[in-house]
Amino acid sequence: MNNIETIICLLLLLMAVPDVCRKLGRPALSNVLFVVFGLGLGLFVQPDVATMVKEAGEVGFLLVLFEVGLEIDLPKLRELLPSLRFGVLWSLVQYPLVVLLARVSGLSFWEGILAASAITGCSMSMAYYGWKDYPGFPGTSRAFVLQIMIALEVLTIVVLSLGSAAVKDGVGWLLLLKLVGMAVTVFLTSRFTSHFVKLCQWIITKTTHWRVHFLVLLVLVICAIGERLGLAAAKTAFFLGLFMSRSQFQGQSVEEYIAPISRRFLIPIFLCRSVY
């Protein structure tokens, strides 16, 4: 089988999985199947195809974090404190263990920190769709779990950004400058959100066949601008979704409009490539 045939078969399989799982009454099972599929893919796929899957998966990761942000209705700080404590305690268990394993493997301290935060970010992204489709949570527990995911994601954003700067430039004034750049980018994103919502509304009302593509492209453009300003593209996507949380357009959220590209294509590719 040549590369083109491999890619076509991959796309057909990925796009069919959500429908099959929904008919079985287990929509969250699709995430597990994507991961299993990714494990097999890593054994047999050719290097050039693997590169294409990796690049597409990066865009899928952006859309995962954007959708997570859209799902969140930020509570007051007092209501968020129990989840923050849980997230910090979980990190105090996970981070030292991963850093120790990284040191044994010959990596530096900061490389170990980056590995731990990357594991947290990828795990949260995969767990989100399990949380979304699992019907067994009572209301209070469901909100508590989501708030824990918020805490872990924000912690991951800070650690990944500062850790990558520390690995590249060492600990110094550049690290502080990086933190300031992140804060400025988050602030500008919050101020721009109202304009973004208006753009989404214009695209949805004025376009027909290409509205999904325009919406996804708009998200990616803002992520690229955020990365230029100092905040990683995936993290910009998360904050963009967070600041426009619960926005509705003709009775639907942006998440529902971009689902044909995000949930049926790019996000499954991200889940596949995250395990090889």
| pLDDT tens digits along 160-185 | 767 666 666 666 666 677 777 777 88
Dihedral, CA of residue 273, residue 244, residue 186 and residue 150, to nearest 10: -60
Question: Minimal CA–CA distance to 234: which of 52, 61, 115?
Answer: 61
Least confident of 8-17, 64-73, 192-201: 8-17
- Quick one: tokens of 268? 């499954």
**pLDDT for 111:** 81
Residue 234 has pLDDT above 70, yes or no: yes
Residue 271 has pLDDT above 70, yes or no: no
Residue 97 has pLDDT above 80, yes or no: yes
**pLDDT for 93:** 85
Least confident of 95-99, 142-146, 201-205, 211-215: 142-146
Q: What is the DSSP letter of 246?
A: T
Cβ atoms of 234 and 65 within 8 Å: the answer is: yes
Rounded to the nearest integer, the mean pLDDT of the chain is 76
Q: What is the DSSP letter of 99?
A: H
**pLDDT for 175:** 66
Confidence band of 94 (pLDDT split at 50, 70, 90)? confident
**pLDDT for 167:** 64
pTM: 0.65
Residue 74 has pLDDT above 70, yes or no: no
DSSP 58-86: HHHHHHHHHHHHHH-----HHHHHHHHHH
* Burial zone of 80 (CB within 10 Å; 0-12 exposed, 13-18 middle, 19+ buried): middle
**pLDDT for 75:** 67
Chain-centroid distance, C-alpha 5: 29
